[in-house]
Chain A
Amino acid sequence: MVEKQYIDIFTQYRKLIDENSAEGLNIYRDEALREFSQTGFPSKKLEDYHHTNVAKFFEKDYGLNLSQLGKDFNPYASHICDVPDLSTFLFFLVNDLFYNENIPVSILPNGVYVGSIREFAKTHTDIFSKYYGKIADVKNNGVVAFNTMFVQDGFLVYVPKNVEIDKPLQLINLLQSSVDYLANRRILIIVEDGARLKLLACDHTVDSSNFLVTQVTEIFAGKNAKVDFYELEVNSEAVVRLTSTFVHQEASSNVMVNNVTLECGVTRNNYRVKLAGEHAEASVCGLVVAEKEQQVDNHAFLDHAVPNCTSTQLFKYILQDNAIGAFCGRILVEKDAQKTQAYQTNRNLCMSPQARMFSKPQLEIYADDVKCSHGLTTGQLDEDALFYLRSRGIGKQKAYDMLMQAFAAEVLQHIRVPSVRERLLELLEQRFKGEVSRCGNCLICK
């Protein structure tokens, strides 16, 4: 049993784990262990994991950094983000450790905290204990339980009531290790009533080692809060990325989650959004461009618990070579959630005969006055459009690229920060040209 070795490590090194973390995180470990011992990692036997055998990935030996030793590496020195007009507050997580040095002095609004989750847990115990682990449920979720057992640090943003951070925050998750490495990171985003936050998180791999990443993200949006959470994955093929994002929305809040996978190994993203206050709006979008043997599996679960909320899901996949894509989108409209509007769209292109896509829309509606829809298509590029472009002198490959770009761009059009949108459109274009999607002059991705 693959779980046993991790339970042993956990029990053996519990003291080390606790010492290098914070009390606020430590108190959740016992319950997580209990749940993990019972549930274990999800395997293909579970319907929701039919296309991603999580247990298998943990069989390999990975190193852990339980002493939380920092690296002799200054990401600020090599990171040159030359995106025009993209002025951000920039932060780094190196593997699963917040990089706490050399942070440029930035003037954040009063009361805002951006930084290490471990440090926040020590200094702001009240706020931390009010939110941490409250929606990332360790029950029946082996990966979240595992993350909660082992996690020692991560990233935290706290935006108090009615405060708006004008510039977007940018978090760069770097995977850097000369030996195979297992990273467990945690992200906690607290945006109180009337507050606003835009966060772009980019995943990059620096070394060629094998990496296994678990990432648990909790996002709390208070009344009238507005949160944009954009994720870009440009990882090496030796990375297995397992993320679980939980969103809790109060009345009239507005949350946009948009995940773009341009380069990866195996990726599984889970989203669970609870619309808990009336007139809340949620958008969950995803764009996947996968080639070779890459695999991407996105699961979205939108829970309409109260009336008058709106949710939109838009997921698009372009699969080349032997790539495998999976999508499961579930909409739950609870009994009293009248006047719900919930829309789901999943469109996929299989660019080669070997590429495969598995898609499963699930609507579970217990209210009787709702507007819900789902649309799903999987196919090839439009031959008529291709011929039209070629008949105007555009060569076959360029015409393909143009049509794929157009197909994919729809997801990026939902991004509400223009500079981020433009940058991602540009990276997408590079990706289709076969160039490595790297950001201009930045030295981080070799």
Chain B
Amino acid sequence: MSEGIFWLASYPKSGNTWTRAFIANLRHEEPNEEVDINTLHTGAIASCRGWIDEVLGFDSADLSHDEIDLLRPAIYRWHAREANDGGYHKVHDAYTYLPNGEALIPAEATAGALYIMRNPLDVAISFAHHSNCSIDQSIENMGTPDFTFCGNTRRMTNQLRQKLLSWSAHVESWADASEINRLVVRYEDMRNDSLATFTRMCSFLGLPDDEYSVQIALDNCAFDKLQQQEKEKGFSEKAPHHESFFRKGKVGDWQETLTPEQIDRIVNDHHTVMKRFGYLDGSGNPVTALPLDRVS
């Protein structure tokens, strides 16, 4: 029996795929070669229809989104108990509760949740590229309290509906989910202080956390290497309209890309959470990311 599932939770475009590439490389038997980005078999995403249907024995496609959500906790409990896949499962759903009071992601199925967050000023840009929409639209989406992925009811989607909520509510839902064991990391620390941050992530996830292993895996999933692989052979997780998935990965891109109005709107929508996680300074001005020791 396994001891539960490790979730890799994040709002989209916050460093989840990079984390999965890191884990895949860390667990790779041949540390001298990079793992192919098209075979990052770290574990199914929580909203993967196939992963759900394999436990159901009938088609989830004949159920409504709300009906499926009611079945999800039992499915995750089953996977946690029976499937010894040692998987690290990505999840973009916010940490929400069902109408019956049960958590969508049950605590008893969870070994831990690594929550990866990124400055919403940078997320807005990356999310716009990913969704093939304007930056203003992605800012609007990030501020929408009931924003969802795959919520279309007129056709079948490969993934189940995911309630993302607003960016702030997404962060708070996971960061404050006191019934589960969790570690919150910031993308900016993963970029700027990689070794220390990934070492903490490894310790939390029960992965090898010695300096040698972490550094080799980090080298193998360096952003330029992921970009190069995508250029050479494409990336199956890229959205169709999207020019490339591994685009810039840059910290602080907002300083060059966003207009003052766009920055104001994001700060206005998310100031409480931005302040809490060091994306606003003492005077309430946006910053890339305050050093961790200055984040209360």
- A and B: bona fide binding partners: no
A-binding residues in B (CB < 8 A): none
B-binding residues in A (CB < 8 A): none
